[in-house]
Chain A
């Protein structure tokens, strides 16, 4: 089966007067594992359902394998979807559930039998063919839902928060299995999730959605390292975000926040801007310590300290801001305590400047 791509052109959609998708554009390559990441209400599930043909007809175009699917009912789209609730039919056995799509496609009986067995073997559930869905664990139900979808060899695979009903350990295991399966089948896959770790670990590229708008598209690591706006920066991991303006004086460029905190920068455009840096990219020193010539130094007071195991997380008051700083924890190493005055050192290459 040849992989196909998905192109989404200027798709908008409203439920009544509530706009859920506002001009979405995406180009998903054949065979790609693509994630839609966003908070609840961001429109990610709505977009996925629109691709499958559920919900109101959106404005704009959705092309699957180069063909516009507008007006095509769900049952003619040939896109496999795994539902968040699995939606296994309780009145059918596991085998009957898996066979359903093939029967609807009028596949010959012997072939159905063969392919159902094959699909169940693929997800490791051969022995459960005769069971009812209610007799399976959550992880097993999830596998049946997956087998039921891939057995029809759909052109693309859509996964709507497929791991959200599983417990933490199983989730890690299932996402690896999912990825392995996707690589094996070379199936273009869209994975909807609100969990950045799931998106990071599985996807080739991802789109971060908020408020019905795609905020940024790219490989997980580059989105983390080069967020284009405060939302993406804050949604992917923990970030220190300072808002202010970039000023030039005496040939030197500096970022100045509202409370007067100054951060020297390399030459960049002046004007209103935000700067972003990650907690693990800040190192701490006592006030007197000399810092390297090029490093940015801020001064603050430790407000709070939390031991998280591998790291110690400090909340440090700098001007009106609270900056989060993570330090790796090593046994017997000296630590700072509340009310200590400290210097915060950030290498310039770790600062991302966002033009407002």
Chain B
């Protein structure tokens, strides 16, 4: 029996399944990520009339004062948002890692709360709270006779973005600080270092990679963001310009493509910066029981200071949610600190006319997240468990989607799939509703992939070898051992993809061809355009927040549970040894 098949044929048979899967994945990534993006880049360098390669489009771009200003504004907003996000995040990260105080729970919540609401949803509410005629300025004017223009023009974009994205820095920096082995700090103290010098020479450099990774992420998210400036009526920025050129002039206008290339360039630069910051600096040096800096109790006056800062930032961070809630229940809210009265009418109107948006969102995000975990599991398996040549490129390519702004992907799809007819629907792929699902799948694939890779790395190969030793084929082993053990990670990946896909705006706004195909984020955008639509729009925003909150909560529960289980297993393993 054993000698019936030679080793060679056994080996190749084991590789057949993964090979087929790899080919399918490559085809998918090529068609919906690589080709559209290359197409966008190619068009940017193409002469509109002759089709020859040229730099004339870039020359045109930089000779226009509007575009130069947009470029400068985008850069300025992104940089200053990083600065403000750091001002929020650094003290909070330091408090939680350095001191014992119950505010740590508050701060951890802070790390999640802003992320569950897409920035553009809160933007309108923020205008009502902090705008020139908003609640805060009305009160300031009444009490002190002054107003603060924090929501005017670029300031508004900066405020909204930095409140929304500061958790990226908070999370990364806290993780870096927590990973510093306590002995690193103690050995410096033992050699005579203390106080600020200790912080500057040891703690800060060790935490730096985490900070840079977070800051780069904030920079690029802000730089690429389309929804927030659009809703705040700030059009002189790159992403809104790209959107407006394509939607008003048409997909043949080269400026949208030039802007796309610039956005991709900055994305790649930011990703490169953060990889460079992290490369070869796996500072996660924590030994058994030695993790994190030495924590100490707060002195009373320090406690007051810490809570003051935490509560101030918490209030600021929660203000968009509060504003949104007021707006969704308020009757008329204009030139007043609070709405004139409260009503449920907006919710009725929203559920009456906008339930299609919700249904579409659940459908699109659901399919996209499902495709993401199928692709993610397959790629993770191929990369970590097979010997296929060039398998790492699957991971690299799928992850490269991170560097592609939604606007760019949208433009690429419009350009590439306008001539591709979908047989049964009898319309171009570019305008068919399923293209939105594909865009979401590509955009969220990196998140699902990372979850799946983390899950598979935690499975000992020996568990699979044991199954094979007992007679299970590769396919049976994957199905009965690998996938069940990965299930926690896969589920977490599904939920992350689902939650973020359900509030995605930048790619979908380009691809929605008719209102009946539109998802929730697009609906909110549509409603918010008119004063009368604000109420129902806010109600729809509340629905979005509820969906994302539930999903985030679920994924935290699942991750916590699987981690507990893993810890329990490790304890058993260690006692057995």
Q: What is A's interface to B at a CB cutoff of 8 Å?
A: 52-54, 73-81, 83-87, 89-91, 100-101, 104-105, 134, 148-149, 152
Contact = CB atoms under 8 A, between A and B. Distances in A.
Contacts of A83: 183, 186-187
Given A83-B183, A83-B186, A73 B194 contact: yes
B176 to A, nearest CB: 12
Contacts of B198: 75
A104 B193 contact: yes
A86 B193 CA distance: 17
B265 interface: no
Contact of B287 (A78, A80, A85): A85
Contacts of B202: 89
Interface of B: 181, 183-184, 186-194, 197-198, 201-202, 205-206, 208, 280-281, 283, 285, 287, 290, 294
Given A91-B205, A91-B206, A100-B188, A85 B183 contact: yes
Q: Which among A73, A78, A83, A148 has the highest number of chain B CB atoms within 10 Å? A: A83
Nearest to B290: A85
Q: Which among B191, B197, B290 has the highest number of chain A CB atoms within 10 Å? A: B191
Q: Which 7 A-B pairs have the closest CB atoms?
A: A101-B191, A87-B183, A74-B189, A104-B192, A87-B187, A75-B194, A83-B183
Nearest to B192: A104
B206 A90 contact: yes
B281 A75 contact: no
A163 to B, nearest CB: 16
Given A91-B283, A105-B192, A74 B205 contact: no
19 contacts: A52-B186, A75-B189, A75-B190, A75-B193, A77-B190, A83-B183, A85-B181, A85-B183, A87-B184, A87-B187, A89-B184, A90-B285, A91-B205, A100-B193, A101-B191, A104-B193, A134-B280, A149-B190, A149-B191
B205 to A, nearest CB: 5
Contacts of B188: 89, 100, 104
A74 B184 CA distance: 13
Contacts of A86: 183
Nearest to B205: A91
B184 to A, nearest CB: 5
Contact of B190 (A52, A84, A105, A134): A52
Contact of A104 (B186, B191, B206): B191
Contacts of B205: 89, 91
Contacts of B183: 83-87
Given A74-B190, A87-B186, 10 more contacts: A74-B189, A85-B183, A87-B181, A89-B188, A89-B206, A91-B206, A91-B281, A100-B188, A101-B192, A152-B192
Q: Which among A53, A74, A86, A100 has the highest number of chain B CB atoms within 10 Å? A: A74
A101 B197 CA distance: 12
Nearest to B201: A100
Given A87-B181, A90-B285, A91-B283, A81 B187 contact: yes
B294 to A, nearest CB: 8
Contacts of A75: 189-194, 198
A74 B285 CA distance: 22
Q: Which among B201, B208, B280, B281 has the highest number of chain A CB atoms within 10 Å? A: B201
Given A54-B186, A83-B183, A83-B186, A148 B191 contact: yes
A138 to B, nearest CB: 14
Contact of A152 (B184, B186, B191, B283): B191
A84 B280 CA distance: 23
Contacts of B184: 87, 89
Contacts of B208: 91
Contact of A90 (B194, B201, B281, B287): B281
B187 A104 contact: no
Contacts of B206: 89-91
A56 to B, nearest CB: 11
Given A89-B206, A100-B191, A104-B192, A74 B197 contact: no
Contacts of A148: 187, 191
A81 B187 CA distance: 7
A81 B186 CA distance: 9
Contact of B189 (A73, A90, A105): A73
B250 to A, nearest CB: 52
B249 to A, nearest CB: 51
Contacts of B192: 75-76, 78, 101, 104-105, 152
A149 B294 CA distance: 21
Contacts of A79: 190
A43 to B, nearest CB: 15
Nearest to B285: A90
Nearest to B195: A75
B197 A104 contact: yes
Nearest to B193: A104
A84 B289 CA distance: 12
Contacts of A80: 190-191
A91 B181 CA distance: 13
Contacts of A76: 192
Contacts of A152: 191-192
Contacts of B186: 52, 54, 74, 81, 83, 87
Contacts of B285: 85, 90
Q: Which among B205, B281, B285 has the highest number of chain A CB atoms within 10 Å? A: B285
A342 B218 CA distance: 81
Nearest to A101: B191
A85 B192 CA distance: 19
Given A75-B189, A91-B205, A91-B206, A84 B287 contact: yes
Q: Which among B184, B206, B290 has the highest number of chain A CB atoms within 10 Å? A: B184
Contacts of B189: 53-54, 73-75
Nearest to A77: B190
Nearest to A90: B283
Contacts of B290: 85
A81 B287 CA distance: 17
A105 B191 CA distance: 9
A90 B285 CA distance: 9
A261 to B, nearest CB: 36
A327 to B, nearest CB: 33
A166 to B, nearest CB: 15
